[in-house]
Amino acid sequence: MSKPPRRPATPQRPAQDTPPGDRIAKVLARAGVASRREAERMIEQGRVAVNGEVITRAALNVTSRDRVTVDGKPLEAPQAPRLWLYHKPPGLVTTTKDEQGRPTIYDELPEELPRVMSVGRLDLNSEGLLLLTNDGGIKRKLELPATGWLRKYRVRVKGRPDDATLEPLRTGLVIDGQRFQPMQVALDRQQGANAWLTVGLREGKNREVRRAMADIGLSVNRLIRTSYGPFQLGQLKPGEVEEVRGRVLRDQLGLEGAKTDRPTPARRRKPPRRNRSG
């Protein structure tokens, strides 16, 4: 019995062309409105309109011909990407608003700074280097695990740790089912009942250093971030902000549109609040 003739293969439909432009959340992030994730939340809340129509889904591409508004205000043209080093003091939260009414870094930043976003966070009691940027693309790139930049901390712990105590940090931990990658840990000196450590890690899990130290029986009573990749805290004083030169941004991040250099990056600290009593 002869086999029936094969049917000719159905030609596949050509893939639809990608709509022109960029995703709306990316455009908002590049304009410094918010991070991409925060921009998506703003869209879901109905705060963004394109060509007069409110949108609630981020699956939309826009071009320079589209009119985008946020909370009824026209979206400004993207600024040149910029990056600042900020010495965060303890006692400030790294959010724009705090439900508990605690002071935030944005309450203390110099007023002449444009709208900025933090690259990652430092918790309330942590201090040291925090990167700030006006560009959501930079924020996203520096926070991605694939970037893999080493972050260094000076950590003061209560106790008298030795190499055997610290070894689990160097081999990696699992805490509450969450795996912590190996850390670089060195014992700097013993100071009375406390010890100073230098810790390096390439991840950014929530309260990672504090949780890891607690797991090996050490309590952190001071934590200072001293570097984030090639960027160093250096001699910045608490509360000071220093802009990174455009040339450094181009070299380290490959940003061709980075702001041109100024003769000397300015260090700014918000003036102390005046006593309004009386």
Are 227 and 233 in contact by the 8 Å Cβ rule? The answer is yes
Please enumerate in sequence order all residues whose Cβ is within 8 A of that of 109, keeping only pairs 6 or more positions apart, or say none: 86, 116, 132, 241, 270
The count of residues in the chain is 278
- Whether 123 is a known active-site residue: answer yes
CA 37/CA 29 separation, integer angstroms = 9
Beta bridge partners of 157: 195, 220
CA 202/CA 127 separation, integer angstroms = 18
Q: What is the DSSP letter of 93?
A: B
Q: Give the chain's radius of gyration (CA, Å).
A: 24
Burial class of residue 67 (count of CB atoms within 10 Å of its CB; 0-12, 13-18, 19+): exposed
Cα maximum dimension of the chain: 108
Amino acid at 154: R
Burial class of residue 51 (count of CB atoms within 10 Å of its CB; 0-12, 13-18, 19+): exposed
Q: What is the DSSP letter of 263?
A: S
3-state SS class at 228: strand
Catalytic-labelled residue, pool 123, 135, 188, 215? 123
Are 45 and 55 in contact by the 8 Å Cβ rule? The answer is no
* CA torsion angle 156 222 252 93 (round to 10): 160
Annotated catalytic residues are 123
